[in-house]
Structure 1
Amino acid sequence: MPPTTSSALAVHDRFAAGSGYLAACTQGLPTRETVAATRTDLENWSSGEASPLDYDAAIDRSRDAFSRIAGVDVDAIAIGSQVSVLASLAAGSAPDGARVLCVEGDFASVVAPFHAQAHRGVTVREAPLAELADAVDDETWLVAFSVVQSATGEHADIEAILAACARTGALSFADLTQALGWLPVDASRFDLTVTHAYKWLCAPRGSAFLTVREGIRDALLPLHAGWFAGEDPWASCYGPLAAPARSARRFDVSPAWPVWPGTAAALEFFAALDLAAVHAHDTALGDRFAEALGLDARGRAIHTWPDPDGADLAALTAAGLRASGRAGRARVAFHVWNTEDDVDRAVAALGR
């Protein structure tokens, strides 16, 4: 087996739970700071002391921390609540008759918004992940794909896809939800990215991020523009926006306030980590698991294998482990709170 890793990057005590939790790809665990921030906000709300200006500060902190994690300028980031909502901005901006290329079996929130534009003649082609770059042609307007596939844990060939987009002029639209937080990704390399932060970034569900390359911001329609998309949101509460934000904030969706204090704490935690060390830790555990099960996959934090009757998932659950199942496959994920003991318990539960 691979060499043992350090004990969860010495951050295990930042989580109230963690031992036996192999489901970061389903829902991350909150740090103690995220729990505290969320409780404080609830107490402030219940006592009538919650202030919108406090939420503005939490959103600013979140945007700043996300910029450091994703490698983009703060001005390139818009906030929202769900991947599907942010993806619909790209889909709604597609020209009539545009051709979009997606991955077979990709997460519905990445694909469905483009299919919903069929009434305007927008057509969606699908290709297997391994063949996606070869499927990009001169008629492709945009390529939409998850960098890490939710159902299988497979990785997209980013270099090949971006090269194909550069060759044909197609836009690149990447979902980073199953990547950011454990896999270092430079979001500035893509025209558009979306990330829901409640998985590997361990934020409360309901905080999501869109990054938009500066050169295409004027071509993207602010379909969900409301008061928060103004250059000065508190001067944009009534009537049309006299002055939309000059930055990507013009695409902001009005925030669900209670999720943002916890999101700020979560993202600041990850922004302060050495993400290369996180990647090394998570993949070392993943490789240890893959080797024990004979899986032909290395360098992954997510591992899946056929489990059509759910027997393996049931065995993991019976052993007190939290895993998941998707698309007829059992699925485990390894993150900063996991240790070699979690790997060994999973292997033993599966009888390997």
Structure 2
Amino acid sequence: MDSYVDGHGYLAACTAGLPTHGTLAAMRADLDEWGRGASDPARYGALVEEGRARFATLVGVPADRVATGSQTSAMTAVVAAALPDGAEVVVPDGDFSSIVFPFLAQAHRGIRVRSVPLATLSTALTSDAALVAWSAVQSATGEVVDSAAVVAAARAVGARTLCDLTQAAGVLPVAAAPFDVTVTHAYKWLCAPRGVAFMTMSDDALGWLRPVQAGWYAGADVWSSCYGPDMRLADDARRFDVSPAWQAWPGAVAALRHVGSLDMASVWRHGAGLADRLADALGAVRQSQAVMTVPDPSGAGLAALTAAGITASGRAGRLRLAFHHWNDDSDVDAVARVLAR
């Protein structure tokens, strides 16, 4: 069975995951093929389809409702472009810019972005809202949003939903089906190389979204779609595919194969349990989430950990400590020793 590289002292899966040995082997083999001039576009295409299917299984939707790409912001931009002029979009204060900026960039046609406190997201929606967009797990704090409550509130007022699963997929059990659209970059908790992202869409969303980024890879038959002017797009989510970053896909598929062998509930219990143990050691309040954050406005805490050889991250004036599959009690003890000083 595949396994992650040694991740002791690495508490930054919320920034970028670590590879498995299988991921590294797949990427090295691909580089060797490239070096020999033996790269095969058809093989990359097969990997994209395997990756699509494996991600679909992970989030519980059919593969024909999954589009592939390389960036969540570009996928969010597709949603933003589909909104009618003057539409209101509701987002939580301080959510990640990839699901906020694409809507702000539509201000020229009257798109209005209303930012509300996260705690009030499910109660702040009115009939004026066309869409509510949020991250299932908040990037800056690791907080897990009550997404079911947000979906219910959106349905009650006729708003559509866009949920970013980037900080959730791979560590927390997630289901994409309740949302109109989800976007996920795979380089964090899914531990894939950067350059592989997924977008899921409901049957309804498949009807109102427009493939404004359509290229050859969105064609009904990819290899017959390399030249215009005739355009025959796929009739499922593949019409929203963009040309894949080939070299990222061998490693991404190896990562998804491994993630598919894990029980996500157990992965979450493991990570959240370590974070709570650290909270106890520091005399802090348990947050019961895989990312523990503590105030660090000066960055002194992060600097001390870095000096001790521990990799963490800082966001929005807080120290972020992410516990994933490779971490154990020794990481908790090491961080506690440094921060106690």
Scaled to the shorter chain, the TM-score interval is over 0.9
Tell me if 1:161 matches 2:121: no
**What pairs up with 1:183-198 in 2 under 5 angstroms?**
183-198=172-187
Tell me which amino acid in the other structure corresponds to 2:270. H
Tell me if 1:111 matches 2:120: no
Output one character per residue of 1:264-286: Cα deviation in whole Å (capped at 9) or x when no partner: 00011101111111111111112
Would the aligned equivalents of 2:282 and 2:340 in 1 still touch at CA under 8 Å? Answer: no
Q: State how far apart, in whole Å, the 2-side matches of 1:28 and 1:17 are.
A: 12
**What pairs up with 1:197-276 in 2 under 5 angstroms?**
197-240=186-229, 242-276=231-265
Output one character per residue of 1:182-201: Cα deviation in whole Å (capped at 9) or x when no partner: 11111111110000000000
Q: Which residue of 1 aligns with 2:89?
A: 100
Tell me which amino acid in the other structure corresponds to 2:76. A
Tell me which amino acid in the other structure corresponds to 1:317. T
TM-aligned CA deviation for residue 221 of structure 1:
1.1
Tell me which amino acid in the other structure corresponds to 2:142. G
Would the aligned equivalents of 1:147 and 1:174 in 2 still touch at CA under 8 Å? Answer: yes
Output one character per residue of 1:115-152: Cα deviation in whole Å (capped at 9) or x when no partner: 00001111000001111111111110000001111111
Would the aligned equivalents of 2:27 and 2:251 in 1 still touch at CA under 8 Å? Answer: yes
TM-score (norm 1): 0.95
State the percentage of identical aligned residues: 53
Instruction: Evaluate the alpha carbon distance shift between residue 341 and residue 241 of structure 1 in structure 2; reply closer, same or farther with a 3 A threshold.
Output: farther
Q: Which residue of 1 aligns with 2:78?
A: 89
Q: Which residue of 1 aligns with 2:163?
A: 174
Tell me if 1:302 matches 2:291: yes
Tell me if 1:22 matches 2:19: no
Instruction: Evaluate the alpha carbon distance shift between residue 226 and residue 274 of structure 1 in structure 2; reply closer, same or farther with a 3 A threshold.
Output: same
RCO comparison, higher one (Cα < 8 Å, 6+): 1
TM-aligned CA deviation for residue 17 of structure 1:
2.6
The structure 2 residue matched to 1:131, chosen from 117, 120, 130, is 120
Would the aligned equivalents of 1:227 and 1:241 in 2 still touch at CA under 8 Å? Answer: no
Q: State how far apart, in whole Å, the 2-side matches of 1:280 and 1:73 are.
A: 27
Q: State how far apart, in whole Å, the 2-side matches of 1:145 and 1:314 are.
A: 30
Q: State how far apart, in whole Å, the 2-side matches of 1:268 and 1:254 are.
A: 22
* Higher mean C-alpha deviation, range 34-43 or range 240-249: 240-249
Q: State how far apart, in whole Å, the 1-side matches of 2:55 and 2:152 are.
A: 26
Would the aligned equivalents of 2:72 and 2:98 in 1 still touch at CA under 8 Å? Answer: yes
Q: State how far apart, in whole Å, the 1-side matches of 2:172 and 2:164 are.
A: 13
Q: Which residue of 2 aligns with 1:319?
A: 308
SS in 2 for 1:210: strand
SS in 2 for 1:109: helix
Q: State how far apart, in whole Å, the 2-side matches of 1:102 and 1:245 are.
A: 31
Output one character per residue of 1:201-250: Cα deviation in whole Å (capped at 9) or x when no partner: 00000100000101221210111100000111111110145321111010
Tell me if 1:331 matches 2:311: no
Q: State how far apart, in whole Å, the 2-side matches of 1:296 and 1:172 are.
A: 32
Q: State how far apart, in whole Å, the 2-side matches of 1:271 and 1:113 are.
A: 31
Q: State how far apart, in whole Å, the 2-side matches of 1:61 and 1:240 are.
A: 30
Tell me which amino acid in the other structure corresponds to 1:148. V
* Higher mean C-alpha deviation, range 113-122 or range 153-162: 153-162
Q: State how far apart, in whole Å, the 2-side matches of 1:191 and 1:212 are.
A: 6
Q: Which residue of 1 aligns with 2:273?
A: 284
Q: State how far apart, in whole Å, the 2-side matches of 1:160 and 1:297 are.
A: 23
* Higher mean C-alpha deviation, range 304-313 or range 191-200: 304-313
Query: Displaced runs of 4+ in structure 1, greater than 6 A?
Result: none
Tell me which amino acid in the other structure corresponds to 2:149. A
Q: Which residue of 2 aligns with 1:8?
A: none
Q: State how far apart, in whole Å, the 2-side matches of 1:289 and 1:228 are.
A: 47
Q: State how far apart, in whole Å, the 2-side matches of 1:98 and 1:228 are.
A: 30
SS in 2 for 1:30: coil
Q: State how far apart, in whole Å, the 2-side matches of 1:129 and 1:291 are.
A: 26
Tell me which amino acid in the other structure corresponds to 2:38. E
Output one character per residue of 1:50-87: Cα deviation in whole Å (capped at 9) or x when no partner: 10011011111111110111111101100111111111
**Structure 1: runs of 5+ lacking an equivalent:** 1-10
SS in 2 for 1:322: coil
Tell me which amino acid in the other structure corresponds to 1:313. L
Tell me which amino acid in the other structure corresponds to 1:80. G
Q: State how far apart, in whole Å, the 2-side matches of 1:132 and 1:225 are.
A: 33
Count of residues in Structure 1 that have an aligned counterpart in Structure 2: 341
SS in 2 for 1:78: strand
Q: State how far apart, in whole Å, the 1-side matches of 2:54 and 2:119 are.
A: 32
Q: State how far apart, in whole Å, the 2-side matches of 1:71 and 1:291 are.
A: 35
Q: State how far apart, in whole Å, the 2-side matches of 1:103 and 1:231 are.
A: 37
Tell me which amino acid in the other structure corresponds to 1:235. S
Q: Which residue of 2 aligns with 1:5?
A: none
